[in-house]
Amino acid sequence: MSTLHEKNETVQADIIGLTHDGEGVGRTSAGYTLFIPNTLPGEQVEAKILKSKKQYGYAKVTEFKNVSEQRVEPPCPIYKECGGCQLQHFDYEGQLVWKRQHVIDSLTRIGKLQVAGEQQVSAEGDATSTEHQVIVHPTVGMENPWRYRNKAAVPIGRGESSEELVGGFYAKGSHRIVDMKDCMIQKERNDEVIHQVKEIARELRVLPYDEETGTGILRHVVTRIGVVTGEVMVVLITNTTRIARQPEWIEMIRKRIPNVKSIVHNVNDKVTNAIFGETTKVIWGSEVIYDELDGIRFAISARSFYQVNPEQTISLYRKAVEYAGLTGKEQVIDAYCGIGTISLFLARNAGHVYGVEIVPEAIEDAKRNAKLNGLENTTFEAGPAEIVIPRWKKKGMKADVIVVDPPRKGCDPELLDTILAIRPERVVYVSCNPSTLARDLRLLEDGGYRTVEVTPVDMFPHTGHVEVVTWLERV
């Protein structure tokens, strides 16, 4: 039984693991658990307790007594303040191993699945024994895990003076904005565009948004970069329905940002943590910019969901296609198709792909993207998957494979029931949350499926996030 420690008490703790957010899990000699940021397994620290609860507490390091061999010096000058990354102090190979273990822990603890031991996976990653055990492959990492993000969403706020405009990322555990000039995980072009937009706002004396009072004008700046095409989109998100001095905004952005193709205004006048509001209007240029993934061209609008790491997205989607086991004849359902990214990867190898998505605008983008690439073996429909898919079945569609890529909360329970009713030969589950993935795998296993293989993909290096693609087959 652990002994409770008090707030402001200084204790020694052994770091025994990491949370899913990358915080160190410390254990004192009295058995008390502390969550301590910027620590790694195997380290021993002296820490000051910031908050104390009955079963656990939160603390910060005051001194390192023993330092892990996997600790590295973060290259980012604002890493200790900024809340954008959590793991820059962890060497990259260590991050990849930890992310795989995080997936394994979720599968075994939440999903109650048996995972093959390391000795049961060959050097090539092939299974040597699959009987009743899930193969979890090594995390697919990046050769250069920096400068990968093609999209930036930067909050704008007030600095020390009431009219000083700053823009960057929130400090850890707060909504205080750390002004940012250079971000190590953003494409350099994003940094350049954000810098120019901030300078224009300062020159035009645009009032930054004040979260506490709900006053001010400019709330966020969002930039999208077409990595292959070089095209740029700038989205100005304001607290007002009109942009003051809009012609000057447009003129200055066009003059200072080469290859800008789209300038968009979004209105968010609500008291909310959400970035976008409901009203979006193109104020200059095209509604979309274009980019390519693995030879497939995509039109991307301001609100489109489009993965932020193009290199790893290709690895992820290729693995999803591999797990689908396509021969060119299958009918495939993509149950959270978005703008059709996975759907079009699948369509190059399938007989026909049916995409369903609850957001009508995304479905229109998906249809446009299919037409853009000449992929006529696709059908897209807006609506809840658990309603649309049974309707397709009544019309005679037989799904050989169902692919799901849900948000962090996982699949809707009704969709899981629909999958079990349709009974495709294979299910491919792409997830950004190992915990909800494991929960849903348990339900699918109980309904007559077997989890065969899992591959973690490091879509977000130096953060606590990991993407996972899973292959299930019908028993």
Alpha helix (H) ranges present in 187-309?
188-203, 246-256
Written as one letter, the residue type at 414 is E
Longest dimension (CA), the chain: 68
* Long-range contacts at 120-127 (CB < 8 A, ≥ 24 apart): 127/453
Cα angle 420, 335, 429; round to 5: 70
Q: What is the CA radius of gyration of the chain?
A: 24
Phi, psi at residue 442, to the nearest 5°? -60, -45
Compute the residue count for the chain. Answer: 475
- Is 36:61 a contact under the CB 8 Å cutoff? yes
Q: How far apart are CA 268 and CA 241, in angstroms?
A: 8
- Our measurement of the distance from residue 77's CA atom to the centroid of its chain's CA atoms, rounded to an integer in Å, reads 24
**Is residue 411 flagged as an active site residue?**
no
Alpha helix (H) ranges present in 204-309?
246-256
Q: How far apart are CA 260 and CA 276, in angstroms?
A: 21
**Closest listed residue to residue 253, CA positions, set 272, 270, 236:** 236
Q: How far apart are CA 354 and CA 398, in angstroms?
A: 11
Q: How far apart are CA 46 and CA 223, in angstroms?
A: 42
Active-site hit among 85, 183, 337, 432: 432
Residue 136 burial by Cβ neighbours in a 10 Å radius (0-12, 13-18, 19+): buried
- Number of C-beta neighbours around residue 154 at 10 A: 25
Who's near 17: CB < 8 A, 6+ residues apart?
24, 25, 41
Q: Which residues are catalytic?
A: 432
